Each structure stands twice: as structure tokens, then as C-alpha cells.
Amino acid sequence: MQKNNDSFLNFEACLKCSICNTVCPMMEVNALYPGPKKSGPDQERYRLKDPAFYDYALKYCLNCKRCELACPSGVQVADLIQRAKLQYGSRSKHPVRDAILASTDFVGTMASPFALIVNSVLPLKPVKAVLDGAFGIDSRRTFPKYSSEKFVTWFKLHAQKEQEKYSKFVSYFHGCYCNYNYPQLGKDFVKVVNAAGYGVHLLEKERCCGVALIANGMEKQARKQALINIESFGKAVEKGETILTSSSSCTFMMRSEYREILDLPTEGYRDSLFLACKWLYEKIESGEVKLKFKPLKMKLAYHIACHMQKLGWQNHTIELLKMIPGVELVVLNQKCCGIAGTFGFKKENYEYSQAIGANLFADIKEAAPDAVVTECETCKWQIEMGTGVPVMNPLSVIAAALE
């Protein structure tokens, strides 16, 4: 959007039209949340005067970015709220819980070697009761499973050598979910990119993008990890490699939030970092890549994750899925699933999270698909828990349809 003046995140451009309030999913279910207009541009004036005006109800913001999409004046409403939370927010009542939820790299590294034990112990009722009582992680929540072999370990053992037979390469930012929880996603990524005639390189160093750290107020750690990633991106760009990802929220974090919330430089790599589906569609469109698909008899419902809509690349995925013969595709109305990363895992937020998700669950049940397709892994957990319908990343669908 066009900038209208030089105020911090354009907050003075707010006309108080309240369109952002009409699209906020949290406002619909939670009377304690003052809404994006008040939390963002309105209260920013007060906060600048005196930090004591900071409203603790800002913790309810999901950072879904709908307010920014709806704003006719280009106010970065959600960014204003995120920055206020980092700058003025007080310490959490559950610092240990928040650190566990946000430190995906640390927890993943610890859990992977004991995946069998962790996976069988976590769903047990007494364990859940302890997590609920002592840490405030809601016992009604289904936890994601850990994988005993990390994606990176698999890649180095079974795939890295083969990659060298290609002459063109992309770099892959796999993300924590792929690495610790679901390496099959990374395997599917490698299969699809190889089929397109490109080899896969890992980044020199990769850390969690930090989206969960920001959401939990751990700015310092997020900055540290972001700087490591940015350095690796720079090296990949120097080699002339495009950096591809499979998760929408990581991508959005690294392309936009590093700059808007952490004030870090993104110019060096921003135009070389894409979701794999966007990259693949453009390669097919330009005629450089030709993929052969076998028929896949499936009814798929595509859920546009909030950050995916903010990225604006959903049409690439939709067009790719349409290329697969036999696929019946329904595009769901863009509604928030309510989990918002770590938000829905917290005991105090569980009810809100499920109330927001209910709208989407109803739509999915009505569409009755064989699988829901989405780029976001936390949406996946929420939708699978809420509807029982399996959720796939589009890359996994494409990999399954490759001849």
C-alpha cells in the first residue's frame, strides 16, 4: 500500500473507519479485546505519551494481518500491535511454558532422539494434566508428533549425494516443523524440486525463523536467530540460488516481519525467497519446467492460511493443484483457524481459539473433502484436531501426483 505520511508504521493515516474491526476474528468471540483500531493506531498516540497506557488485552491479538488487508489507508495495524507488545508488554505469567512453546529448535533437538518415548508419553492423561496444571498448556490440545529421524539427518544420509548430479540448484529453508516433526514434507519437497530439474542445497546455517519467539515476547532471541538466517540467505543469493520454503508463516516472517518488527535488513534476499509453490508455478508458466502428473482421485479443500493471504500467493498454489488431473478442488472462504501458532496451546486461550476455528470447521465439514490443503503447519494441527480431516501441504499433494 501507498504510504501517506511518515508516522510510525503509518498510524496517523488511520481515518477511524473501523473496517479493520469488522474483519477481526478475535473481536467476534472475545469482548475483552478492544479490536485492531483501538489496539493499533488509537492507543499508539497514548503509548507514545506514556507507556503506562499500554493495554494488556493486546495479548489477544492473533497477528493474522486481516486488519492490514482491510485497511484502505495503508496503516500497518498488526505491526503496530506486535511492536507495542514487544516494547511495553510485561513478563508472561507462564515464562517457562512460553519458552517451551517458542523455542522450537531447542525442544525439537531434545525431543527427536527420544521421539518414541515423547510421542507415547505426551498424549497420556496424567502427563497432559501436569502440563496443564503446572505450565498452562491446555490438556484438550492434541500435540504434534516428533520424528525420530530429523529431516536434515535424512537429507545428509540419503539425498545429498544425488543432488550433485544436477546443474541448477535451489536452497531449502526447511523450518522446524519439517525438521523435527514431519520430515516427509522435506522429502516431498526434494522430490518435487528434483522433478523440476533442480538440485537441493541446505542453507549453511538455519535457525527457527522466530515467528513463535516474537509472538511470545522473546525479541532478543528472535533477533539472534534472524541474523544467523540472514547471513545464510546472503550466501545462498551470492551463489545465485533461490531460497525456497514450504511453510507460509516462516516465509512471511523472514520476508516482512524481520524488517517491520525487528528492523533488520531484508533487501539482500527478499526478492529471492519464495514459497516453493510460487516458484514452481512460475517455472511451469514460463515453460522452463514441465511436470507430468498422474491422475489423483481426490476431493481437496484449499484453506488459505492467514499469512498466506498476506503474502498474496494463494493463486499459484490453486493453479498448481488444478493442473493435477482427477483432483476436485474447493477453495474455502478465508477464515482464521484460531490457533495462531502457539496462541491456541495456552490454557487461557483455548476457548477463544476453538470459537474462532468453529466457523472454518463448519465450512470444511460442509465441503466434506478427502483432505484439506494448506501451507501452514499450525493450521494443520488445528484443523485435524477440529474436524478429523487429514491436512496436507500442497507440495505433498504434488509429490503424490508426480509420475
Partner 1 sequence: MKYDVVVIGGGSSGCRAAKANAAKGRSVCVVSAGLTLQATKPESEGRVYADLYELRKMGVAVLRGDTVLSGSWDGAKLLEVHTSNGLTLQADEFILATGRFFSKGLVSTMDTVFEPVLGADVDFPSDREKWFNADFFAPQPFEQIGVRTTADGHIFIKGEAAENVKAVGKILGGERHAKK
Q: CA–CA distance from 64 to each of 20, 344, 364, 402 (Å)?
A: 12, 13, 20, 33
The Cα 212–Cα 162 span in angstroms is: 34
Total residues interacting with partner 1, rule: CB under 8 A: 27
Tell me the helices (H) and strands (E) count for the chain, helix number first: 24, 8
Is 311 a binding residue for partner 1 by CB under 8 A? The answer is yes
Nearer to partner 1, 201 or 310 (CB): 310
Choice from 99, 331, 371, 400 touching partner 1 (CB under 8 A): 331
Instruction: Find the helix or strand (DSSP H, E) in which 379 lies.
Output: helix 377-387
CA neighbor of 310 nearest in space, from 76, 69, 3: 69
Is 309 a binding residue for partner 1 by CB under 8 A? The answer is yes
Strand extents, DSSP E, 138-297? 169-173, 199-202, 242-245, 273-275
Choice from 7, 12, 23, 289 touching partner 1 (CB under 8 A): 23
Neighbouring C-beta atoms of residue 237, cutoff 10 Å: 18
Is 333 a binding residue for partner 1 by CB under 8 A? The answer is yes
The residue range among 26-34, 62-70, 155-163, 224-232 that interacts with partner 1, by the rule CB under 8 A, is 62-70
Is 367 a binding residue for partner 1 by CB under 8 A? The answer is no
DSSP secondary structure letter of residue 228: H
Nearer to partner 1, 17 or 124 (CB): 17
Is 1 a binding residue for partner 1 by CB under 8 A? The answer is yes
> What is the smallest separation between the CB atom of 124 and partner 1, expressed in angstroms?
42
Is 358 a binding residue for partner 1 by CB under 8 A? The answer is no
> What is the smallest separation between the CB atom of 311 and partner 1, expressed in angstroms?
7
The residue range among 64-72, 78-86, 134-142, 349-357 that interacts with partner 1, by the rule CB under 8 A, is 64-72
Say if CB 280 and CB 394 are below 8 A apart. no
Is 334 a binding residue for partner 1 by CB under 8 A? The answer is yes
Is 268 a binding residue for partner 1 by CB under 8 A? The answer is no
Grid-cell match 484460531, residue found: 338
Say if CB 110 and CB 234 are below 8 A apart. no
By the criterion CB under 8 A, which residues form the site for partner 1? 1-2, 19, 22-23, 65, 68-74, 271, 285, 309-313, 315-316, 318-319, 331, 333-334
